Amino acid sequence: MINWLIKVLPNVVSMGWSGDYGWWAAIYQTLYMTFFSAIIGGAIGLVFAIILVISDDDGILPNGKIFWLADKIVSIFRAIPFIILLFVISPFTQVLIGTTLGATAALVPLSLSVAPFYARQIQVVLKSVDTGKIEAAQALGANNWDILVIYMRESFPEIIRVSTVTLISLVGLTAMAGAIGSGGLGNTVVTFGQQSKYDVVWIGTIALLILIFAIQGIGDWLAKRINHADMQ
């Protein structure tokens, strides 16, 4: 079996599992960048989405100036291509992390790139909540915090779905993060592809597809389960 693998997938076998450039390191770096940038960027995006919804003209705390500022910040960062953002904010990354290289440094541009993308999706989801339920809660004396809870509870299945889409997009961004030496499966595929080592390209691509399908499957399962629980 080993001899067959060496013959069919020589470069895959030569990479090995251990070491700084082995398969485990590439998988770990991809998961590391995806998970932590999703947490950081997701939190930032959620805050901006809530600000946009509550400060809009029909929000619970309408404020034109705050809405305009938040909207412009989200729009600007949403418009900057990720590969350009990597280099635009590299001085900020250097100050914050102490380096512009590696998986940890990649968390800064990844988080700032995913935050506006997530903010826009959550904004749309929250705006789709039935206004009648919000008005009924206000009529019953609900405070602003109670209203926010209603927004989140009513849109939770859709939040799960857009979070799944965001995570899948984030896995793709980790590949481009290889431009700053972040590592990961995407960087492995690109590097070995340039060297015409296509067995690594195929196995790396399959590993990325498995990760994406796993995220999609878990996201769909959670959304359906929450919808089913709400209907009971």
Any domain includes 3? no
pLDDT at 179: 59
Q: How far is CA 32 from CA 43, 103, 107, 201, 208, in A?
A: 17, 8, 9, 21, 14
Any domain includes 8? no
Whichever domain contains 217, its CATH number is 1.10.3720.10
CB 96 within 8 A of CB 107: no
pLDDT at 166: 92
pTM for the whole thing?
0.85
Which residues of the chain register pLDDT less than 70? 1-16, 18-21, 179-180, 194-196, 227-232
pLDDT at 50: 92
Token couple for 13? 């076998």
DSSP 139-187: HTT--HHHHHHHHHHHTHHHHHHHHHHHHHHHHHHHHHGGGGT--SHHH
CB 42 within 8 A of CB 114: yes
Any domain includes 7? no
Any domain includes 136? yes
Any domain includes 1? no
Q: How far is CA 127 from CA 28, 132, 228, in A?
A: 37, 12, 22
Please give the residue range of the domain that contains residue 221. Answer: 17-231
Any domain includes 10? no
Residues 222, 126: Cα–Cα separation, whole Å = 19
Any domain includes 6? no
Q: Name the nearest CA neighbour of 183 among 14, 22, 40.
A: 22
The answer to whether the Cα torsion of 195, 88, 106, 48 is positive or negative is negative
pLDDT at 119: 93
Token couple for 19? 């070491």
- In sequence order, the 6+-apart residues with CB closer than 8 A to the CB of 130 are 154
CB 94 within 8 A of CB 180: no
pLDDT at 231: 46
DSSP 19: S
Any domain includes 37? yes
Residues 61, 57: Cα–Cα separation, whole Å = 8
Q: How many domains does the chain have?
A: 1
Biggest CA–CA distance in the chain, Å, is 74
pLDDT at 12: 65
